[in-house]
Structure 1
Amino acid sequence: MFIRTENFSQYIRAYPFVTALIIINTIVFVLTSMPFQWNLELYHFGLGVNYLIADGEWWRLFTPMFMHLGFMHLLFNMFSLFIFGPELEKFAGKARFLTIYMLAGIFANIATYFLGGIETAHAGASGAIFGIFGAFGALIYYTKNAFPQLRQIMLPIIVLSVIMTFLQPGVNIIGHIAGLIVGFIVGLSYFHPKRIVSWRKR
Protein backbone atom coordinates (compact mmCIF):
# COMPACT_ATOMS: atom_id res chain seq x y z
CA MET A 1 0.00 0.00 0.00
CA PHE A 2 2.76 2.43 0.92
CA ILE A 3 5.34 1.05 -1.51
CA ARG A 4 5.90 3.63 -4.23
CA THR A 5 6.16 2.05 -7.69
CA GLU A 6 5.64 5.20 -9.79
CA ASN A 7 8.47 6.76 -11.73
CA PHE A 8 9.31 10.41 -11.12
CA SER A 9 6.93 11.91 -13.70
CA GLN A 10 4.08 9.58 -12.70
CA TYR A 11 4.54 10.49 -9.03
CA ILE A 12 4.37 14.22 -9.79
CA ARG A 13 1.23 13.86 -11.92
CA ALA A 14 -0.53 11.58 -9.44
CA TYR A 15 0.36 13.46 -6.25
CA PRO A 16 0.92 17.13 -7.12
CA PHE A 17 0.26 18.49 -3.63
CA VAL A 18 2.62 16.07 -1.92
CA THR A 19 5.23 16.86 -4.54
CA ALA A 20 4.75 20.62 -4.14
CA LEU A 21 5.10 20.40 -0.36
CA ILE A 22 8.31 18.39 -0.63
CA ILE A 23 9.74 20.87 -3.13
CA ILE A 24 8.76 23.92 -1.04
CA ASN A 25 10.26 22.47 2.14
CA THR A 26 13.46 21.53 0.32
CA ILE A 27 13.84 24.94 -1.32
CA VAL A 28 13.26 26.73 1.99
CA PHE A 29 15.85 24.49 3.66
CA VAL A 30 18.44 25.19 0.96
CA LEU A 31 17.80 28.94 1.11
CA THR A 32 18.03 29.09 4.88
CA SER A 33 21.14 26.88 5.07
CA MET A 34 23.45 29.07 3.01
CA PRO A 35 26.05 30.88 5.17
CA PHE A 36 25.15 34.39 4.10
CA GLN A 37 23.62 37.18 6.15
CA TRP A 38 20.34 37.32 4.24
CA ASN A 39 19.96 33.55 4.50
CA LEU A 40 20.42 33.71 8.27
CA GLU A 41 17.91 36.54 8.47
CA LEU A 42 15.43 34.48 6.42
CA TYR A 43 15.99 31.52 8.74
CA HIS A 44 15.31 33.55 11.87
CA PHE A 45 12.37 35.29 10.17
CA GLY A 46 10.53 31.96 9.78
CA LEU A 47 11.24 30.18 13.06
CA GLY A 48 8.45 29.71 15.56
CA VAL A 49 9.68 31.81 18.47
CA ASN A 50 6.97 32.20 21.07
CA TYR A 51 8.02 35.52 22.57
CA LEU A 52 8.17 37.03 19.06
CA ILE A 53 4.71 35.64 18.30
CA ALA A 54 3.50 37.24 21.52
CA ASP A 55 5.10 40.47 20.28
CA GLY A 56 2.84 40.43 17.22
CA GLU A 57 4.77 38.37 14.64
CA TRP A 58 1.80 36.11 13.90
CA TRP A 59 3.21 34.73 10.64
CA ARG A 60 5.38 32.53 12.85
CA LEU A 61 2.29 30.40 13.51
CA PHE A 62 2.48 29.39 9.84
CA THR A 63 6.09 29.56 8.62
CA PRO A 64 7.68 27.04 11.05
CA MET A 65 5.99 24.15 9.24
CA PHE A 66 8.28 24.87 6.28
CA MET A 67 11.46 25.33 8.33
CA HIS A 68 13.84 22.59 9.48
CA LEU A 69 16.68 22.45 11.98
CA GLY A 70 19.10 20.38 9.94
CA PHE A 71 19.34 18.03 6.99
CA MET A 72 18.32 14.90 8.93
CA HIS A 73 15.30 16.75 10.31
CA LEU A 74 14.25 17.65 6.76
CA LEU A 75 15.06 14.18 5.41
CA PHE A 76 12.98 12.35 8.00
CA ASN A 77 9.94 14.60 7.55
CA MET A 78 10.08 14.63 3.75
CA PHE A 79 10.59 10.86 3.60
CA SER A 80 7.49 10.43 5.77
CA LEU A 81 5.55 12.80 3.52
CA PHE A 82 6.84 11.00 0.41
CA ILE A 83 5.72 7.59 1.71
CA PHE A 84 2.47 8.33 3.53
CA GLY A 85 1.21 11.48 1.81
CA PRO A 86 0.28 9.94 -1.55
CA GLU A 87 -2.20 7.42 -0.13
CA LEU A 88 -4.01 10.17 1.76
CA GLU A 89 -3.99 12.53 -1.23
CA LYS A 90 -5.36 9.73 -3.41
CA PHE A 91 -8.09 8.67 -1.00
CA ALA A 92 -9.17 12.04 0.41
CA GLY A 93 -8.63 14.11 -2.73
CA LYS A 94 -6.18 16.92 -3.28
CA ALA A 95 -8.07 19.74 -1.54
CA ARG A 96 -8.96 17.62 1.50
CA PHE A 97 -5.41 16.34 1.79
CA LEU A 98 -4.00 19.86 1.73
CA THR A 99 -6.59 21.00 4.28
CA ILE A 100 -5.64 18.20 6.67
CA TYR A 101 -1.93 18.92 6.24
CA MET A 102 -2.17 22.68 6.67
CA LEU A 103 -4.64 22.66 9.57
CA ALA A 104 -2.59 20.09 11.46
CA GLY A 105 0.61 22.07 10.92
CA ILE A 106 -0.90 25.42 11.87
CA PHE A 107 -2.70 24.14 14.96
CA ALA A 108 0.46 22.32 16.03
CA ASN A 109 2.21 25.71 16.00
CA ILE A 110 -0.71 27.39 17.78
CA ALA A 111 -0.69 24.72 20.50
CA THR A 112 3.07 25.11 20.88
CA TYR A 113 2.60 28.85 21.31
CA PHE A 114 -0.05 28.57 23.99
CA LEU A 115 1.35 25.55 25.83
CA GLY A 116 5.08 25.62 25.14
CA GLY A 117 6.28 28.53 27.21
CA ILE A 118 7.37 32.00 26.18
CA GLU A 119 11.01 31.04 25.46
CA THR A 120 10.12 28.09 23.22
CA ALA A 121 11.47 28.07 19.65
CA HIS A 122 10.37 25.43 17.16
CA ALA A 123 10.39 24.47 13.50
CA GLY A 124 9.51 21.55 11.28
CA ALA A 125 6.75 19.87 9.32
CA SER A 126 6.29 17.19 11.98
CA GLY A 127 2.97 18.56 13.21
CA ALA A 128 1.56 18.36 9.69
CA ILE A 129 3.04 14.87 9.20
CA PHE A 130 1.39 13.75 12.42
CA GLY A 131 -1.81 15.24 11.02
CA ILE A 132 -1.53 12.75 8.16
CA PHE A 133 -1.13 9.96 10.71
CA GLY A 134 -4.16 11.24 12.61
CA ALA A 135 -6.26 11.30 9.43
CA PHE A 136 -5.32 7.68 8.77
CA GLY A 137 -6.35 6.94 12.34
CA ALA A 138 -9.79 8.39 11.62
CA LEU A 139 -10.04 6.33 8.44
CA ILE A 140 -9.16 3.18 10.39
CA TYR A 141 -11.75 4.10 13.03
CA TYR A 142 -14.54 4.31 10.45
CA THR A 143 -13.58 1.41 8.22
CA LYS A 144 -12.87 -1.03 11.08
CA ASN A 145 -11.83 -4.23 9.28
CA ALA A 146 -12.53 -3.04 5.73
CA PHE A 147 -8.85 -2.22 5.13
CA PRO A 148 -6.90 -4.73 7.24
CA GLN A 149 -3.60 -3.90 5.55
CA LEU A 150 -4.01 -0.20 6.36
CA ARG A 151 -4.80 -1.08 9.97
CA GLN A 152 -1.84 -3.45 10.26
CA ILE A 153 0.60 -0.89 8.87
CA MET A 154 -0.63 2.43 10.25
CA LEU A 155 -1.58 1.55 13.82
CA PRO A 156 1.95 0.38 14.77
CA ILE A 157 3.43 3.41 12.98
CA ILE A 158 1.15 5.81 14.86
CA VAL A 159 1.84 4.15 18.21
CA LEU A 160 5.59 3.99 17.60
CA SER A 161 5.68 7.62 16.44
CA VAL A 162 3.91 8.77 19.60
CA ILE A 163 6.27 6.71 21.80
CA MET A 164 9.36 8.09 20.02
CA THR A 165 7.99 11.60 20.45
CA PHE A 166 8.35 11.20 24.21
CA LEU A 167 11.68 9.37 24.09
CA GLN A 168 13.70 11.52 21.68
CA PRO A 169 15.36 14.67 23.04
CA GLY A 170 14.58 18.05 21.51
CA VAL A 171 11.26 16.97 19.99
CA ASN A 172 8.28 19.32 19.99
CA ILE A 173 5.96 17.00 21.89
CA ILE A 174 3.13 19.51 21.97
CA GLY A 175 3.30 20.04 18.19
CA HIS A 176 3.34 16.32 17.42
CA ILE A 177 0.38 15.46 19.64
CA ALA A 178 -1.62 18.52 18.56
CA GLY A 179 -1.04 17.70 14.88
CA LEU A 180 -2.12 14.10 15.46
CA ILE A 181 -5.31 15.18 17.24
CA VAL A 182 -6.24 17.79 14.62
CA GLY A 183 -5.62 15.32 11.78
CA PHE A 184 -7.84 12.79 13.53
CA ILE A 185 -10.64 15.31 14.12
CA VAL A 186 -10.58 16.62 10.55
CA GLY A 187 -10.39 13.03 9.32
CA LEU A 188 -13.49 12.14 11.35
CA SER A 189 -15.32 14.87 9.46
CA TYR A 190 -13.98 14.00 6.01
CA PHE A 191 -14.13 10.21 6.25
CA HIS A 192 -17.57 9.81 7.76
CA PRO A 193 -19.25 7.02 5.75
CA LYS A 194 -22.04 9.35 4.59
CA ARG A 195 -19.52 11.85 3.26
CA ILE A 196 -17.55 9.17 1.42
CA VAL A 197 -20.73 7.92 -0.23
CA SER A 198 -21.48 11.46 -1.41
CA TRP A 199 -17.96 11.70 -2.92
CA ARG A 200 -18.52 8.55 -4.93
CA LYS A 201 -21.85 9.86 -6.32
CA ARG A 202 -20.26 12.98 -7.78
Structure 2
Amino acid sequence: MFVRTESFREFIRFYPLITLILIIHLLVHLATTLPLLPSREIFTLLAGVNLYIIEGEFWRILTPIFVHSGFAHLLFNSFSLVLFGPALERILGKAKFLLVYLLTGIAANVATLLLEPPTYTHVGSSGAIFGLFGFYLAISMFRKDLLSKENSQIIITIAVIGVIMTFFQSNINITAHIFGLIAGFFTGRVLLLKQ
Protein backbone atom coordinates (compact mmCIF):
# COMPACT_ATOMS: atom_id res chain seq x y z
CA MET A 1 0.00 0.00 0.00
CA PHE A 2 2.84 2.41 0.84
CA VAL A 3 5.37 0.90 -1.56
CA ARG A 4 5.37 2.54 -4.97
CA THR A 5 5.74 0.02 -7.78
CA GLU A 6 4.08 2.02 -10.56
CA SER A 7 6.02 3.46 -13.45
CA PHE A 8 6.19 7.26 -13.67
CA ARG A 9 3.49 7.23 -16.35
CA GLU A 10 1.25 4.92 -14.30
CA PHE A 11 1.68 7.08 -11.20
CA ILE A 12 0.49 10.14 -13.14
CA ARG A 13 -2.51 8.21 -14.51
CA PHE A 14 -3.51 6.60 -11.20
CA TYR A 15 -2.90 9.63 -8.94
CA PRO A 16 -3.51 12.79 -10.98
CA LEU A 17 -4.26 14.98 -7.97
CA ILE A 18 -1.05 14.09 -6.15
CA THR A 19 0.82 14.62 -9.41
CA LEU A 20 -0.75 18.08 -9.75
CA ILE A 21 0.20 19.00 -6.15
CA LEU A 22 3.78 17.84 -6.79
CA ILE A 23 3.95 19.93 -9.97
CA ILE A 24 2.68 22.97 -8.06
CA HIS A 25 5.32 22.33 -5.35
CA LEU A 26 8.05 22.20 -7.98
CA LEU A 27 6.85 25.25 -9.95
CA VAL A 28 6.53 27.35 -6.79
CA HIS A 29 9.97 26.18 -5.67
CA LEU A 30 11.47 27.21 -9.01
CA ALA A 31 9.65 30.56 -8.88
CA THR A 32 11.05 31.22 -5.40
CA THR A 33 14.63 30.14 -6.13
CA LEU A 34 15.53 30.86 -9.77
CA PRO A 35 17.82 33.88 -10.07
CA LEU A 36 16.12 34.99 -13.31
CA LEU A 37 12.86 35.70 -11.45
CA PRO A 38 12.14 38.06 -8.55
CA SER A 39 12.33 34.93 -6.40
CA ARG A 40 12.73 36.63 -3.00
CA GLU A 41 9.67 38.78 -3.69
CA ILE A 42 7.61 35.77 -4.81
CA PHE A 43 8.64 33.83 -1.69
CA THR A 44 7.73 36.79 0.52
CA LEU A 45 4.38 37.19 -1.24
CA LEU A 46 3.40 33.52 -0.72
CA ALA A 47 4.87 32.78 2.72
CA GLY A 48 2.67 32.65 5.79
CA VAL A 49 3.52 35.78 7.74
CA ASN A 50 1.15 36.11 10.68
CA LEU A 51 1.32 39.91 10.78
CA TYR A 52 0.36 40.20 7.10
CA ILE A 53 -2.51 37.73 7.56
CA ILE A 54 -3.79 39.80 10.48
CA GLU A 55 -3.61 42.86 8.21
CA GLY A 56 -5.88 41.16 5.64
CA GLU A 57 -3.60 39.14 3.33
CA PHE A 58 -5.74 36.04 3.82
CA TRP A 59 -4.30 34.12 0.85
CA ARG A 60 -1.33 33.47 3.13
CA ILE A 61 -3.44 30.91 5.00
CA LEU A 62 -3.45 28.76 1.83
CA THR A 63 -0.28 29.55 -0.14
CA PRO A 64 2.32 28.37 2.43
CA ILE A 65 1.09 24.81 1.82
CA PHE A 66 2.84 24.95 -1.56
CA VAL A 67 5.99 26.92 -0.61
CA HIS A 68 9.15 25.33 0.80
CA SER A 69 12.23 26.85 2.38
CA GLY A 70 14.75 24.89 0.33
CA PHE A 71 15.23 21.88 -1.89
CA ALA A 72 15.63 19.43 1.03
CA HIS A 73 12.37 20.70 2.56
CA LEU A 74 10.60 20.34 -0.80
CA LEU A 75 12.06 16.88 -1.36
CA PHE A 76 11.11 15.55 2.08
CA ASN A 77 7.50 16.77 1.94
CA SER A 78 7.04 15.70 -1.69
CA PHE A 79 8.51 12.27 -0.95
CA SER A 80 6.10 11.91 2.00
CA LEU A 81 3.19 12.82 -0.27
CA VAL A 82 4.30 10.28 -2.91
CA LEU A 83 4.51 7.52 -0.27
CA PHE A 84 1.39 8.22 1.79
CA GLY A 85 -0.94 10.15 -0.50
CA PRO A 86 -1.82 7.58 -3.20
CA ALA A 87 -3.70 5.18 -0.92
CA LEU A 88 -5.85 8.03 0.38
CA GLU A 89 -6.49 9.42 -3.10
CA ARG A 90 -7.71 5.94 -4.06
CA ILE A 91 -9.82 5.47 -0.89
CA LEU A 92 -11.38 8.95 -0.93
CA GLY A 93 -11.44 9.89 -4.58
CA LYS A 94 -10.00 13.09 -6.01
CA ALA A 95 -12.46 15.64 -4.58
CA LYS A 96 -12.40 14.34 -1.00
CA PHE A 97 -8.64 13.88 -1.07
CA LEU A 98 -8.19 17.49 -2.18
CA LEU A 99 -10.62 18.59 0.55
CA VAL A 100 -8.65 16.70 3.21
CA TYR A 101 -5.27 17.95 1.98
CA LEU A 102 -6.29 21.61 1.77
CA LEU A 103 -8.51 21.63 4.86
CA THR A 104 -5.83 20.13 7.11
CA GLY A 105 -3.13 22.40 5.67
CA ILE A 106 -5.33 25.45 6.20
CA ALA A 107 -6.24 24.31 9.73
CA ALA A 108 -2.52 23.98 10.52
CA ASN A 109 -1.88 27.49 9.20
CA VAL A 110 -4.84 28.98 11.09
CA ALA A 111 -3.56 27.35 14.30
CA THR A 112 -0.15 28.87 13.55
CA LEU A 113 -1.78 32.26 13.12
CA LEU A 114 -3.64 31.96 16.42
CA LEU A 115 -0.88 30.44 18.55
CA GLU A 116 2.37 31.90 17.22
CA PRO A 117 3.52 35.54 17.49
CA PRO A 118 2.63 38.10 14.77
CA THR A 119 6.22 38.08 13.48
CA TYR A 120 6.15 34.31 12.88
CA THR A 121 6.78 33.22 9.27
CA HIS A 122 5.98 29.72 8.05
CA VAL A 123 6.07 27.69 4.84
CA GLY A 124 5.70 24.06 3.85
CA SER A 125 3.15 21.35 3.28
CA SER A 126 3.97 19.58 6.56
CA GLY A 127 0.66 20.56 8.15
CA ALA A 128 -1.21 18.94 5.25
CA ILE A 129 1.09 15.88 5.30
CA PHE A 130 0.44 15.46 9.02
CA GLY A 131 -3.23 15.90 8.16
CA LEU A 132 -2.98 12.80 5.97
CA PHE A 133 -1.43 10.91 8.88
CA GLY A 134 -4.27 12.09 11.11
CA PHE A 135 -6.80 10.87 8.56
CA TYR A 136 -5.06 7.48 8.45
CA LEU A 137 -5.25 7.34 12.26
CA ALA A 138 -9.02 7.91 12.00
CA ILE A 139 -9.23 5.06 9.47
CA SER A 140 -7.25 2.84 11.86
CA MET A 141 -9.71 3.56 14.66
CA PHE A 142 -13.07 3.87 12.91
CA ARG A 143 -12.82 2.03 9.56
CA LYS A 144 -10.47 -0.89 10.12
CA ASP A 145 -11.81 -2.50 6.93
CA LEU A 146 -10.02 0.13 4.80
CA LEU A 147 -6.50 -0.64 6.05
CA SER A 148 -4.77 -3.91 6.87
CA LYS A 149 -3.51 -4.35 10.41
CA GLU A 150 0.08 -4.14 9.13
CA ASN A 151 -0.55 -0.85 7.31
CA SER A 152 -2.34 0.57 10.35
CA GLN A 153 0.70 -0.28 12.46
CA ILE A 154 3.01 1.38 9.92
CA ILE A 155 0.92 4.58 9.94
CA ILE A 156 0.66 4.70 13.72
CA THR A 157 4.41 4.17 14.05
CA ILE A 158 5.25 6.84 11.47
CA ALA A 159 2.80 9.32 13.02
CA VAL A 160 4.30 8.79 16.49
CA ILE A 161 7.86 9.11 15.16
CA GLY A 162 6.83 12.22 13.18
CA VAL A 163 5.37 13.88 16.26
CA ILE A 164 8.43 13.02 18.37
CA MET A 165 10.83 14.27 15.66
CA THR A 166 8.84 17.51 15.45
CA PHE A 167 10.13 18.46 18.90
CA PHE A 168 13.77 17.59 18.19
CA GLN A 169 14.36 19.33 14.86
CA SER A 170 15.13 22.99 14.41
CA ASN A 171 13.07 25.36 12.26
CA ILE A 172 9.95 23.19 12.48
CA ASN A 173 6.47 24.64 12.79
CA ILE A 174 5.44 22.46 15.73
CA THR A 175 1.99 24.06 15.82
CA ALA A 176 1.31 23.17 12.16
CA HIS A 177 2.42 19.56 12.62
CA ILE A 178 0.30 18.97 15.71
CA PHE A 179 -2.81 20.78 14.50
CA GLY A 180 -2.52 19.29 11.00
CA LEU A 181 -2.55 15.84 12.62
CA ILE A 182 -5.54 16.74 14.82
CA ALA A 183 -7.42 18.29 11.88
CA GLY A 184 -6.79 15.18 9.78
CA PHE A 185 -8.06 12.93 12.54
CA PHE A 186 -11.30 14.90 13.02
CA THR A 187 -11.80 15.34 9.28
CA GLY A 188 -11.41 11.58 8.96
CA ARG A 189 -13.91 10.98 11.73
CA VAL A 190 -16.50 13.15 9.97
CA LEU A 191 -15.90 11.89 6.42
CA LEU A 192 -15.70 8.23 7.45
CA LEU A 193 -19.11 8.45 9.13
CA LYS A 194 -20.61 9.41 5.76
CA GLN A 195 -19.15 6.52 3.79
Q: TM-score, normalised by structure 1?
A: 0.92
Distance 1:152 1:110 in 2: 30
Match of 2:104 in 1: 104
Distance 1:37 1:72 in 2: 21
Are 2:88 and 1:88 aligned?
Answer: yes
Give the letter aligned to residue 174 of structure 2.
I
What does residue 170 of structure 2 align with? 169
TM-score for both structures, normalised by structure 2: 0.96
Percent of pairs identical after alignment?
Answer: 46
Q: What is the CA-CA distance between 1:8 and the residue it aligns to?
A: 1.1
The offset of 1:91, in angstroms, is: 0.8
Aligned equivalents of 2:15 and 2:60: distance in 1? Answer: 27
Q: Which amino acid aligns with 2:101?
A: Y
CA distance in 2, matches of 1:65, 1:15: 19
Specify every segment of 5 or more residues in structure 1 that has no aligned partner in the other structure, as ranges.
Answer: 197-202
Whole-angstrom distance in 2 between the partners of 1:26 and 1:148: 34
CA contact (8 A) 2:50 2:118 kept: yes
Q: Aligned partners of 2:40 and 2:119: how far apart in 1? A: 20
Shift of 1:40: 1.6
**Alignment partners' CA distance in 1, 2:99 and 2:43:** 25
RMSD, matched Cα: 1.3
Cα distance, 1:36 vs. partner?
4.5
Does the CA contact (< 8 Å) of 2:31 and 2:37 recur in 1? Answer: no
What amino acid is aligned across from residue 176 of structure 1 in structure 2?
H
The answer for the alignment partner of 2:190 in structure 1 is: 189
Q: Unaligned stretches of 5+ in structure 2?
A: none
My pick for the range that moved more, 144-153 or 95-104, is 144-153
> 1:147: which partner in 2?
148
Give yes or no for the alignment of 1:131 onto 2:121: no
**1-structure distance, mates of 2:190, 2:92:** 11
Q: What's the offset of the Cα at 1:159?
A: 0.3
Larger of the two Rg values belongs to structure? 1
**Offset of 1:37 from its aligned partner?**
5.9
Where does structure 1 differ by over 6 angstroms across 4 or more consecutive aligned residues? none
Aligned to 1:30: 30
Equivalent position SS for 2:69: coil
For 2:181, the equivalent position in structure 1 comes to 180
Stretch deviating more after TM superposition (144-153 or 39-48): 144-153
- TM-superposed CA distance for 1:35, in Å, is 2.4
CA distance in 1 between partners of 2:92 and 2:140 (Å): 13
CA distance in 2, matches of 1:190, 1:54: 31
Shift of 1:57: 1.1
Q: Which moved more, 1:72-81 or 1:31-40?
A: 31-40
Q: What's the secondary structure of 1:60's corresponding residue?
A: helix
